[in-house]
Structure 1
Amino acid sequence: MNTTAAPPVSTSERSSLIRLYLTRGVLAIAWAIAFAASHDTLDAIAVTLLVVYPLIDAVSSLLDQLAVPDGSERRLIALNGIVSAVIAVALGFAGTVGNAAAVLGVFGSWAVLSGAAQLIVGLARRGPTLGKQWPTLISGGLSFLVGATYIAQTTADSPSLDVLAIYATGGGIFFIAQAALLAWKHTRR
């Protein structure tokens, strides 16, 4: 149980987060569908999609950090956006050289880092006005664990990128669930 009082949340901040989470969820699922259909070879389309996914996270982080008051949560969200932008470049490089293990390793590292950030932000936002953040907490924890698994899979004989579409689908579902939970909490108030 959270015994600290959550900072007051404005209606515009809550509405902004609902829109952001919903949009992010839909984009993640759309990305997963596109990547699942095109990743058999690391051609220009697949590499472009690999770069786009963390860029979606970087832009989402920028929008998210603009919607919250200044503080440690805002700085962590901004740092996550910077890490996502750097990962986009690294994925572009790994994809361009056509090395699935390198792509999986970079993606796994990003999943670990962004999952940890998501857990911390979810804990900071888990007050009653922001819907307890259970989908965000679960998603962050799973991202951390799955990312570690992806890193371990880089040593396999033939690592598969199929798992990335599954990862994005799961993330999208959790973002949509968080948006729905926030909207439900908003209507109850």
Structure 2
Amino acid sequence: MPWTVPALLVVYPLIDAAASLIDYRATPDGSERRVIAFNGLLSTLAAIALCLAGVGGLAAALHVFGAWAVVSGAAQVIVGVRRRGPELGKQWLTLISGRPSFLVGITYNLQAAGDHPSLDVLSMNATGGVVWFILEALLLGWKSRQLRARAV
């Protein structure tokens, strides 16, 4: 496996960890903030584990990525459900992206356990994840500006 594949696999959870840090700083204390902190820590640990798993080959990297996707997707769903109020944009994009992450993570692990592990599903999911991530950031930015404008 070329070195670029594990490198790209590591970048994905690092971006999620950075987004979690930003989200954590913007979220008031409470159980939702703890879930965001958990997701950020999980993503950081996943990046480290992917560095190590990349040495073991594609199947090992897919197993780690799949486990991260399952747990991280579940955390996204929890945050999305808790933020369903109008003040934070009803977080429907988080719910939409979290559920497939959970399900696709299971698929990664099944592929990794098979005879011919492949990154085909991973590349499609990563592309979709990037699109949802950008849409969510735009929506949150728009909602944040609306809240600030109302407060003035």
Q: TM-score range by the shorter chain?
A: 0.7 to 0.9
Q: Report the AA paired with residue 106 of structure 2.
A: A
* Contact map agreement 2:108 2:122 (CA 8 A) in 1: no
Alignment match of 2:13 (pick from 45, 54, 60) = 54
Q: Aligned-pair distance for 1:58?
A: 1.2
Tell me the equivalent position of 1:162.
120
**Unmatched 5+ stretches in structure 2:** none
> Using the alignment, how far apart are the partners of 1:184 and 1:90 within structure 2?
35
CA drift at 1:67: 0.9
Counterparts of 2:32 and 2:16, CA distance in 1 = 16
1:117 equivalent in structure 2: 75
- Report the Cα distance in structure 1 between the residues aligned to 2:41 and 2:141, rounded to whole angstroms: 28
Deviations 1:69-107 (A, max 9, x none): 11111111111111111111111111122x211111111
RCO higher in structure (CA 8 A, sep ≥6): 1
Partner of 2:113, secondary structure, is coil
> Normalising to structure 1: TM-score of the pair?
0.71
Partner SS, residue 18 of structure 2: helix
> Quick one: which amino acid aligns to residue 70 of structure 2?
V
Amino acid in the other structure paired with 2:134? I
Q: How many pairs does the alignment contain?
A: 147
Whether 1:45 aligns to 2:4 is: yes
Q: Report the Cα offset of residue 155 of structure 1.
A: 2.0
Distance in 2, matches of 1:82 and 1:171, equals 19
179 and 88 in structure 1: CA distance in 2 versus 1, 3 angstrom threshold = closer
* CA distance, structure 2, for counterparts of residue 183 and residue 112 of structure 1: 27
| Residue in structure 1 matched with residue 96 of structure 2 by the alignment | 138
What are the ranges of 5 or more consecutive residues in structure 1 without an aligned counterpart? 1-41
Q: Work out the CA distance in 1 between the residues paired with 2:68 and 2:76.
A: 12
Identity of aligned residues (%): 61
* Counterpart residue number, 1:178: 136
Mapped to 1, the partners of 2:58 and 2:102 lie a distance apart of: 20
**Residue equivalent to 2:27:** 68
TM-score (norm 2): 0.87
Q: Indicate yes or no: 2:50 matched with 1:91.
A: yes
The farther-off stretch of 125-134 and 173-182 is: 173-182
Structure number with the higher helix fraction is 2
Alpha-carbon offset, residue 181 of structure 1: 3.5
TM-aligned CA distance change 1:184 to 1:66, over 3 Å: closer
Structure 1, 127-136 or 114-123: larger mean CA deviation: 127-136
Within 2, Cα distance between the matches of 1:58 and 1:178?
A: 15
Tell me the amino acid that sits aligned with residue 118 of structure 1. Q
Q: CA–CA distance in 2 between the matches of 1:74 and 1:48?
A: 29
